[in-house]
Amino acid sequence: MKFRKTAASAAVVLTLALSATACGGKEGPAGDKTGGDTDTKALPKYKVAEDVKVDSPVLKKAQKRGKLIVGAKSDQPYLGFQDPSSKKYEGFDIEVAKMVAADLGFGEKDIQFKTIDSSVRETAISKGQVDLMVGTYTINDERKKQVAFAGPYYMAGQDLLVRKDEKSIKGPDSIKGKKVCSVTGSTPLQNIKDNKSKYGAEPVEFGKYTDCVKQLLDGQVDAMTTDDAILKGYAAERPTKLKVVGETFSEEPYGIGLKKGDKELQNAVLDAVEAHQKDGSYKKAYDATLGRSGSKFEEPPALERD
Ligand code: GLU
């Protein structure tokens, strides 16, 4: 009997490992995954436009160099993740970047992804280190002073990630006196700092979300806060150790960041997002990436054209 049980669980482990490999995810102990679990076979193909003419200084420069430089996140499974061995980027934001790039005339091999952390996005865009930034980038007025956005293409909301055995933290009303980790330059960190009297949390700040995940797993902090879409990815990676609690307590509309004043590029990016939302490839891309972490597909918010 004992043997049979072991054989059965070994078979389960093997099946999981095989399916994880087929999907591009990597399976670790206790069903943990790293990097998300993209269904690579279900990803849409994007037709690359030819002879694209947009009166944008940024795009013209990219056309000259033959590469579109896209700022991305590298440690957010299901959204923007760089595989440490293949160096390839994957996730929903990466797909959004690919669909936009295709409409601007750049195929997958002509995109150069660059990891840009939350605190340096505005600088990277305004200094021309990236042509576009596609990385869980909340559109807000403060940031609009420095950069422009095309979007919103997705609506996220601030949430909390805790250890699986956590009992006392159930939402933003129960983080008083708790150590809550987030990332420098992010809106969720700003929210708990600006509203200290409301939430009463003790903010702990790092440069990367994976540093917060580590702190949380090691018991150094009590919770981690950022967008639900990001947190669900970490919870899906470690279903036996982490969970997302409560309801979202902010609105985080995601936009594609670009150089302020480049109206033509902004419109071209908006046209691209709109076209892919209409032809179904946006949903297809979502279902093959972020949709696999427990964030159900919802109709995207209306794009803003100003
Ligand atoms: N969406 C939020 C922001 O733009 C949090 C996620 C992030 O840090 O990228 O700040």
Over residues 148-158, the pLDDT tens digits come to 999 999 999 99
* Structural domain count of the chain: 2
pLDDT in tens, 271-288: 999 999 999 999 999 999
Q: 61 and 270 in contact (C-beta within 8 Å)?
A: no
Q: Is the CB of 186 under 6 A from ligand 1?
A: yes
| pLDDT at residue 20 in the model | 40
| pLDDT at residue 228 in the model | 97
**Residue at token pair 């409560």:** 246
On whether both 90 and 22 belong to a single domain, the answer is: yes
Backbone angles phi, psi at 144, to 5 degrees: -65, -15
Q: Which residue lies with its CA nearest to atom 5 of ligand 1?
A: 186
Q: Which residue lies with its CA nearest to atom 6 of ligand 1?
A: 136
Question: Which of 226, 251, 290 has most ligand 1 atoms within 8 Å of its beta carbon, as the pocket-test mutant?
Answer: 226
On whether both 149 and 63 belong to a single domain, the answer is: yes
Query: Which domain CATH number covers 206?
Result: 3.40.190.10
- Residue 7 CA to ligand 1 center (angstroms) comes to 44
How much of the chain, in percent, has pLDDT values that exceed 90?
86
* Mean pLDDT computed over 110-132: 98
Contacts of 139 (CB under 8 A, 6+ apart): 149, 151, 152, 253, 254, 255, 304
Helix axes 263-278 and 92-103, enclosed angle (nearest 10)? 110
For residue 281, the Cα-to-chain-centroid distance in whole angstroms is 18
Which domain covers residue 131, as residue numbers?
9-155+252-293
| pLDDT at residue 32 in the model | 63
Going by pLDDT thresholds of 50, 70 and 90, the confidence category of residue 34 is low
On whether both 30 and 116 belong to a single domain, the answer is: yes
On whether both 41 and 167 belong to a single domain, the answer is: no
Q: Which string of DSSP letters, residue by residue, matches 239-298?
A: TTTEEEES---S-EEEEEEEETT-HHHHHHHHHHHHHHHHSSHHHHHHHHTGGGGT----
